[in-house]
Amino acid sequence: MPDATLSLNDSLVDRALRRVTGLWRDMADRVGGRDDAEDVAAQMQACLAARGGEVSARARAAKLAAAYRGFSEAERVSFLRVLAGFDADPKAVERAIAEWTQAADGPAKAAAKVRLRRALESPRVRLLTQFTAIPDGMKLLVDLRADLLRAVETDPLLEALEADLKTLLTSWFDLGFLELRRIDWNSPAALLEKLIRYEAVHRIESWDDLKNRLDSDRRCYAFFHPRMPEEPLIFVEIALMKGLAGSVQALLDPKAEVMDPNQADTAIFYSINNCQRGLDGIAFGNFLIKRVVEVLGQEFRGLKQFATLSPVPGFCRWLNAREEAGDATLLTAEELTAIRNAAGVPPETSPGAALQLLLSRKEWPPALSKVLEPVLVRLCARFVAVESGRNPKRAADPVAHFHLSNGARVERINWRGDTSAKGMRESAGLMVNYLYDPEFIEDNHEAYAGEGKRAMASTVRKLVKA
């Protein structure tokens, strides 16, 4: 493997995609030829007519797929608008509703209801389903929904199509169809390259960086779908170690000594990445963590703790919003005095403005850092364990919501957990350990999902009560 930052140009993934696209075009050309003058709507109508048997149907679907892959962004939106137009026939729906309304008894009502359901079925759903029969058709549909999610923000006409496709993908990507696989250094190079591409939490800088993350005291697991065997849907990176991790820089230090994983007592989940934008809103993460906890527990009997080292991406944004709202509860009088004395902040500066002024600095001298640590740790605990968004039962921080809804508890707030530029900018360098205790996961999940109660360690509870 080369020891260099991976180039995204002419990658293995790109070449593989070109080969698949070529296969689609070859299939379409072999059966009936290509007619570039034929418009998209006519091609879609031909697919729905299903003339000529299954081979011809696949060829027509392949032809549409190849065309879509070659379209520009604007052309794809036009394609999606045409596809969205293949909706249920309103007159047929009205007739079916009238039949159901007029049906006199139970059996007649039941039969009329079946006819109503059929009338409500959109032809576009049958067309979408046809794509699954062609090579890499499932990946095409996932990518098509990714395009839809971008386009629907400015084009409400696509909302029904997006809802239809999400319903189909939710069914096709049910947990029962997914396969959990471990990814290691001996996995195919194309798959390893995708890990580098899809890692969004802690960027993988080079092949050496990736190799370090796949060493003997590390684990990486991903969910795969049988119709997308080379495409991870979501993956999690784990470090096997002693005790909780408090710094991601220390965790990912390539010079750190590799420990015997059989001596580890803690599994740290430090990065979870959704790989397919087109599967947004289809939950995998909670199942992935629980499955991996089970797998690791069977492999390493010495593991006593399963926890995360998680970012707090909205913390500084929340502080800024509270300052703009004039929140006088951010700092106590004693904290504000200590900060003013350590940083030389003018006495008339508001508590929120004082914090913003300090957070804008790239470096804090030791005296100021000592003053800021207990203040920011307390405020971070408040943000993840108390603050809510529009829904009072849901944590304001999306990462906190994810783990709390999965049954974890807020275990510890880590000062200088992520000192990268991104970590300092988004969370003032703070990170959170969420603990997954198999004995209490379900109870914690039910309490949070039902009443919005957030499980937290006693040390965190003291912070939010301070």
Active centre residues (catalytic): 310, 403
- Helix, strand or coil for residue 85? coil
222: phi then psi, degrees, rounded to nearest 5: -145, 155
Alpha carbon distance 248, 62 (integer Å): 46
Residues 6+ apart with CB under 8 A from 20: 135, 136
Closest CA to 230 of 277, 176, 191, 192: 191
Alpha carbon distance 265, 138 (integer Å): 40
Alpha carbon distance 426, 200 (integer Å): 14
Residue 402 near residue 287, CB atoms below 8 Å: no
Q: Are strands 179-182 and 218-224 parallel, antiparallel or unpaired?
A: antiparallel
Query: What is the crossing angle of helices 159-172 and 137-151, to 10°?
Result: 140
Residue 169 near residue 141, CB atoms below 8 Å: yes
Alpha carbon distance 436, 35 (integer Å): 57
Burial 415-449 (b: 16+ CB within 10 A, else e): bbbbeeeebbebbbbbbbbbbbbeeebeebbebbe
Query: Phi/psi class of residue 385: alpha, beta or left (left: φ > 0; alpha: ψ in -120 to 50)?
Result: alpha
Alpha carbon distance 449, 459 (integer Å): 23
Alpha carbon distance 330, 349 (integer Å): 13
Q: Which residues pair with 239 in a beta bridge?
A: 218, 268
Please give the torsion angle defined by the CA atoms of residues 132, 136, 141 and 144, in that order, rounded to the nearest 10 degrees.
-150
Q: Which residues pair with 222 in a beta bridge?
A: 181, 235
Closest CA to 275 of 236, 234, 238, 227: 234
